Amino acid sequence: MNEAFGTDVWVFVEQRDGKPADVSFELLCKGRKLADAMGGALRAVVVGADTATAIGTQCFHYGADEALVVSHPSLEHFRSGPYARVLIELIRSRQPRVVLFGATVSGRDLAPRVASATQSGLTADCTDLQIADVDYLKKHHQKLLLQIRPAFGGNIVATIIAPDAPTQMATVREGVMELHAAADPHPVLLTQVDFTPHATDELVRIIDRHREESRIDLKGAPVIVAGGYGLGTRKNFAVLLELARVLGAEVAGTRAAVDAGFLPPERQVGQTGVTVRPKLYIAVGISGAIQHRAGMQDSNKIIAINSDPEAPIFDVAHYGIVGDAMDVLPKLIEAYKARLK
């Protein structure tokens, strides 16, 4: 290990309206493994108002060794300025080796600002993280963070490293890391960190705010019916919605389907959407680019329906159906209804 560098793994624990974000706890679970591999401590950083301490306590279910709690009424809602200031000061004084953020709107706003101020390496939307020794450009680096993500252009996975940066940062989408209670939770160790408001905090003021918890629960759905750009039209998508209705399934899709306006962004499965592991995933008109497969390939059973027998989606499927979705879907709906009778 480079003696000048720290060994801590940190997770920025995000709260919205005083409630913790799932993705932060998922990251703590992964962070526990990384911290063990690093030989360091896992610390949660909770920034918020009156619920921050309670959220800090929850972090110990997921493997934290310590929670740094920064609580102040002016930190109730996320704002780039003061939140970044808090993180930057903490990172400068305590030198963590790794800092993980959820790839949420707030995480994607905060992480780059903090990385810029601390000259840290930052990789967006990682689908896997590991600690490993690396030989790079004739130099041996011990215990680097491997930041793994599908790369541009298709069936390629890139491993990114930040060999010389004191702090290595990554953002990860919701659902990518699995949530599970720590087998052997550590005793609660909360450390309150002082916060003093600063005039620059008021450069951006929130004057109005509307949000509600999403009613779409892709991660929790046992059955998902997903459509791709291959479905072609909104009218064809209606047949997919009908299958989902009959099966009691959630509807999802690829980025291309979202970009085409067939589905809202909350229903995107894949590297830059949600990662799901349902009992059954039915992929319709989805070619199976790696960015999409990254978000669904761990499903218990996968049915692929595609008119192109060479489509890569068939390589991850348990059942393959080569055919036109507009021909297959109505027959599948009928077959299911017949079984119900």
Partner 1 sequence: MLHSIVLVKQVPDTANITGKVMNDDGTVNRSKLPAVFNAEDRVALELALRLRDRYGGRVTVLTMGPPRASDVLRECLYMGADAACLVSDRKFAGADTLATSYVLARAVQRLAPYDLVFAGRQAIDGDTAQVGPQTAEKLNLPQVTYAQEVKSITNGRITVQRHIDGGHEVVEAQLPALITVIKDAAEPRPYSAKRLMAYKGAKTLMELEKLAEDNTLLYVDKLVEEFRTRKLFIDTYSADDLDAEPARCGLKGSPTRVYKIESVVLAGRDREMIEPTSEGLGRLVDALYQDHILG
Three-state DSSP class for residue 16: strand
Q: Is 321 in the site for partner 1 (CB under 8 A)?
A: yes
**Which contiguous run of DSSP H or E holds residue 288?**
none
- Identify which of 11, 77, 65, 71 has the alpha carbon closest to the alpha carbon of residue 39: 65
Is the distance from CB of 123 to CB of 170 less than 8 angstroms?
yes
Three-state DSSP class for residue 125: coil
Q: Which of 49, 241, 316, 326 binds partner 1 (CB under 8 A)?
A: 316
Q: Which of 1, 5, 7, 16 binds partner 1 (CB under 8 A)?
A: 16
The residue type found at 104 is: T
Q: Which of 223, 241, 242, 277 binds partner 1 (CB under 8 A)?
A: 223
> Which of 52-60, 113-121, 188-196, 235-243 is the region at the interface with partner 1 (rule: CB under 8 A)?
113-121
Between residue 50 and residue 109, which ones bind partner 1 under the rule CB under 8 A?
77-78, 80-81, 84, 104-106, 108-109
Q: Is 136 in the site for partner 1 (CB under 8 A)?
A: yes
Q: Which of 9, 28, 122, 131 binds partner 1 (CB under 8 A)?
A: 122
The residue type found at 255 is: R
Is the distance from CB of 241 to CB of 114 less than 8 angstroms?
no
> Which of 40-48, 49-57, 188-196, 314-322 is the region at the interface with partner 1 (rule: CB under 8 A)?
314-322
Between residue 170 and residue 189, which ones bind partner 1 under the rule CB under 8 A?
none
DSSP state of 188: P
Q: Is 157 in the site for partner 1 (CB under 8 A)?
A: yes
Q: Which of 74, 116, 142, 191 binds partner 1 (CB under 8 A)?
A: 116
Tokens of 134: 């690396």
Q: Which of 138, 211, 235, 341 binds partner 1 (CB under 8 A)?
A: 211
Q: Is 308 in the site for partner 1 (CB under 8 A)?
A: no
**32 vs 75 by CB, closer to partner 1:** 75
Q: Is 18 in the site for partner 1 (CB under 8 A)?
A: no
> Which of 44-52, 57-65, 184-192, 199-207 is the region at the interface with partner 1 (rule: CB under 8 A)?
199-207
b/e per residue 165-196 (b: at least 16 CB within 10 A): bbbbbbbbbbbbbebeebeeeeeeebeebebe
- Identify which of 254, 261, 260 has the alpha carbon closest to the alpha carbon of residue 287: 254
Would you state the torsion angle of the CA atoms of residues 155, 221, 283, 246, taken in this order, to the nearest 10 degrees?
Answer: -170
d(C-alpha 75, C-alpha 82), whole Å: 8
Who's near 82: CB < 8 A, 6+ residues apart?
74, 75, 195, 197, 198, 201
Between residue 232 and residue 291, which ones bind partner 1 under the rule CB under 8 A?
247, 272, 279-280, 290
Minimum separation from the CB atom of position 35 to partner 1 (A): 21
Cα end-to-end distance, the chain, whole Å: 65
> Which of 5-13, 24-32, 61-69, 208-216 is the region at the interface with partner 1 (rule: CB under 8 A)?
208-216
Minimum separation from the CB atom of position 313 to partner 1 (A): 10
